[in-house]
Amino acid sequence: MANADTNPLEIAREALLRLATRRIPPTPANYRALYHEIAGTQDDGSDALPDAVLRSLVAALPRATPAQLRLARLLEDGVQKSGWNGLRDGLAQHARTLEDRAGWGNLISELLRLWELRQPGLTPARKREGLQRVLASQDDDTLYPRLQGLIKGWGDASAGLDSPDAMGDLAPANEAEAMPDAATTSRTGLTGSQFMGGFGSISQFFGGSAPDEDLEAFADLRELLATSLETALAPVVRDTAVAEQLDELAVAMRAAKSVKVLRTLTTKVKHLAFKMEILTGEQAEIRTELLRLFGLLVENVGELVLDDQWLHGQMEIVRDLVARPLDIRALEDAERRLKEVIFKQSQLKQSLQEAKEALKQMLAGFVDHLADFSESTSEYHDKLEAFAGKISSANSLAELGSVLDEVMRQTRVAQLNTQRTRDELHAARSRVEQAEAHIAQLQAELDRTSAMVRHDQLTGTLNRRGLDEALEKEMARSRRYRAPLCIGLLDVDNFKKLNDSLGHQAGDAALIHLTQVIRDGLRPQDSVARYGGEEFLLLLPNTTRHEAVQTVQRLQRELTRRFFLHNNQKLLITFSAGVTELNDRDNEETALARADAAMYEAKQTGKNRVIEG
């Protein structure tokens, strides 16, 4: 049958037949020998492991990544040392690796699922640490199984088993080591296990879930509470004992190492809150009472200065201010105005005292001199009568001569007395004149100081001096609190015409009306200043440019509702305004210049409007 058949199928069938008929074990080698026998070919071993081909194949494999390198080495080893078996094992291991890779996706999604799952006893910090330990290992081949172990541990923990695997296979047995203070107490101030101790109550507090985020939120709240006690409440409590207790509580709260301690502190907070409620109530009563007293005082001062209209105007303003809801700026303003009233009153008292003194002296002097004069005059008259009697009864010239000498002497004395009285009356008059001059001088000084005080006497708004002070304060406040500050410069429209047609007094009344409307339309913290004759400046703290424009426009609308009444005639007063918001580089001049330019534009473009500068 040599070379009998060249059909490989037939040869194979015959080879199998011979294996069976000759009862030869069907090994590959026996099959190969029979095959060559039937085909009439030589078994030259060319179908053994194709070493050269495989080597060239392996040499061509990429080795860029550790995995590629590993595969290439595996195949090299298989080819060189272990033959088919080595190659088979290597390929099988590689196939497993590939299979593992296919499992990475699942593994990672499971990792993510468990990472986000809130698990009692397994804080994010703990999970993070376990994962870091697994990832820190340099051995790529063991990464997959180690990660699998870690995830399994997490899974078991969520199923209620407290698995040590939850920390990764390198997890320390000691939990304190696993959750060093630095990692878990930096924000919370408690170690993980301490937190776990109070976990139930905290999770209840947060609605039944048992989240670590809640623990962090709890720690944040604890810090917030401590800070509130220390920086927000303690400084405003007037009772020093309570303030000290608040400070102590804040310190204790931060140092608390367990939820149990915190709970005790919370009870103390409740007690203190109760005390403070009582204190606050008392303080509110005290404030109301003080305000009432202040009101009485203001009334009283008003009564004392009945004859000074200017002071009455000021007192009215102070009364208005305290009648509004209290606010720090309103109080500052009230204080300033009261100081002015007190100052002016003391000046008036002094000048009145001097005037009274001068008047008293003058009257006393007159009375004295008139008495002296009338006394000496009546004495002189009596003497003259006596001399007349002596003259009529005189019998000789010599006798007559001596009576005449006496008459002459008495007349000279009377003359001297009159002269002296006249001189003294002159002196008294000049003293009165001096006193009058002094009073006039005092009055002039008073007027000068009045001009120097911070409020405009006609309208009661701030004057330039008051404006400078207020603007400086508001600019500093705005920078300190990074709050917007706007100014608005207002100029009454066609005011000259009003003055010319109705008179200066009507003009004054119109200005008073205008400022009243403005003041009523602004917040207590806003200020109004008389910038010039019929120009006013508004200071609007905590106000953006947009809000400032709206505010000024609202004032314009209000003026169209509240007419100025002159002799029962309704007159519409309008103004043009420029509004600007102050920036960090502004000083008073630059800001005012912008507002002024904008106001000028408002005048130029039709009046009764607001322009932003």
Binding stretches for ligand GTP (CB under 6 A): 458, 491-497, 499, 504, 507-508, 511, 533-534, 603, 607
Distant-in-sequence, close-in-space partners of 34: CB < 8 Å, separation ≥ 6: 14, 15, 18, 19, 24
| Rounded Cα–Cα distance for residues 149 and 151 (Å) | 5
Considering the complex, state which of residue 418 and residue 457 has its C-beta at the smaller distance from ligand GTP. 457
Written in H, E and C, the secondary structure of 513-570 is HHHHHHHHHCCCCCEEEECCCCEEEEEEECCCHHHHHHHHHHHHHHHHHCCEEECCEE
Considering the complex, state which of residue 34 and residue 510 has its C-beta at the smaller distance from ligand GTP. 510
Q: Are 520 and 460 in contact (CB under 8 A)?
A: no
Least gap, CB of 505 to ligand GTP (angstroms): 7
Q: Are 410 and 379 in contact (CB under 8 A)?
A: no
∠ CA 220-222-223, rounded to 5°: 65
Considering the complex, state which of residue 249 and residue 602 has its C-beta at the smaller distance from ligand GTP. 602
Structure tokens at 398: 């010599």
Considering the complex, state which of residue 227 and residue 494 has its C-beta at the smaller distance from ligand GTP. 494
Least gap, CB of 560 to ligand GTP (angstroms): 17
Considering the complex, state which of residue 222 and residue 513 has its C-beta at the smaller distance from ligand GTP. 513
Q: Are 178 and 126 in contact (CB under 8 A)?
A: yes
Nearest to 466 by CA among 509, 528, 518: 528
Least gap, CB of 430 to ligand GTP (angstroms): 40
Q: Is 50 strand, coil or helix?
A: coil
Catalytic residues, by residue number, are 534
Handedness of CA 7, 13, 17, 18 (dihedral sign): positive
Considering the complex, state which of residue 345 and residue 494 has its C-beta at the smaller distance from ligand GTP. 494
Q: Are 540 and 551 in contact (CB under 8 A)?
A: yes
Distances (CA, A) of 249 to 242, 370, 450, 585, 591: 10, 85, 53, 44, 48
Least gap, CB of 457 to ligand GTP (angstroms): 10
Least gap, CB of 580 to ligand GTP (angstroms): 19
Residue for token digits 């905290």? Answer: 202
Least gap, CB of 538 to ligand GTP (angstroms): 17
